[in-house]
Amino acid sequence: MDRSHLKACKRIVVKVGTNTVMKSPSEIDYRKLDRLAYVLTELHHSGKEVILVTSGAIGVGASFLGRDTYPDSIPEQQALASVGQTALMNLYSRFFGYYSQNVGQILITRDVTDQPLAVENVRNNLFTLLDEGIIPVINENDAVSVDELRFSNKFGDNDTLSAIVGEIMEADLLIILSDVEGLYTSNPVEDPNATLIPIIQEINQGVYDMAHGKGSEFSSGGMTTKLKAAEIVMENDHMMVIMSGDEPSDIFDVLEGKNIGTLFANK
């Protein structure tokens, strides 16, 4: 399928997962954060409206507190998230600031997305930030959430949240940066014959059957949650790409229509 139509995408949501933010459960990937800030700033300067949805608060909190593993109890997870949300936003402010780009944080819980008035407030805030030339940085508010934390995550490591944000803002494209290059015919870790699927135009049970696993030891999202996000996006006649987050500058190539990752599009 010709992807040249991706060049026309104006409003773009980029979701970065814990696996992209963190090198390991206790080590932050500063290089990727820097490259992500550069890429999104360049997109903004080129006239795109960019919204960043980020995971990683618990991981960053664990790193700052010198933890090698994540706790099982919700209060301990909330404590790490509280530390991590502040630290992660400080990192984004620093890296984006290096490129003279302002960012603004919005923390969301699932109940917000179920309330029309709250959704309208979120939409108004986001449009105001975009109008002011500020890149919004959205994260799930793990510090006060209970049923949205790592071990019972409703948003699926923010995959679903990014799709909901795209729906609220009528974004043309959602790009999910992951630790895999896209959707494969089977689990590439287990099957050496697995091949990358360049485009999905309909999500059915056969597509879900190709998705396996919950993600890494420090991520709650997996391919299944990404497919659920894709369903939301496609129901609104918009597009989504799952691609590797190893090199954020590949986003430029995606928007030039190159065959990178898996594109989810109705037509």
pLDDT tens digits for range 52-99: 999 999 999 999 999 988 888 888 888 998 999 999 999 999 999 999
pLDDT value for 218: 41
For 18-52, b/e burial (b = at least 16 CB within 10 A) is bbbbbbebbebbeebbbbbbbbbbbbbeeebbbbb
| Rounded CA separation 159/176 (Å) | 8
Q: Which CATH class is domain 4-264?
A: alpha beta
Q: Where are the domains of the chain?
A: 4-264
pLDDT value for 212: 64
Token pair of 54 as six digits:
């980020």
Lowest mean pLDDT among 49-63, 177-191, 195-209: 177-191
142 or 223, which is more confident?
Answer: 223
Q: Is the pLDDT of residue 220 over 50?
A: no
pLDDT value for 26: 84
Q: Is the pLDDT of residue 154 over 70?
A: no
pLDDT value for 2: 82
SS3 40: helix
pLDDT value for 144: 65
Average pLDDT, the chain: 88
Q: How would residue 156 be classed by pLDDT, with cut points 50, 70 and 90? A: low
Highest-scoring range by mean pLDDT, 102-106, 111-115, 218-222:
102-106
In DSSP notation, 218-249 reads T----HHHHHHHHHHHHHTT-EEEEEESS-TT
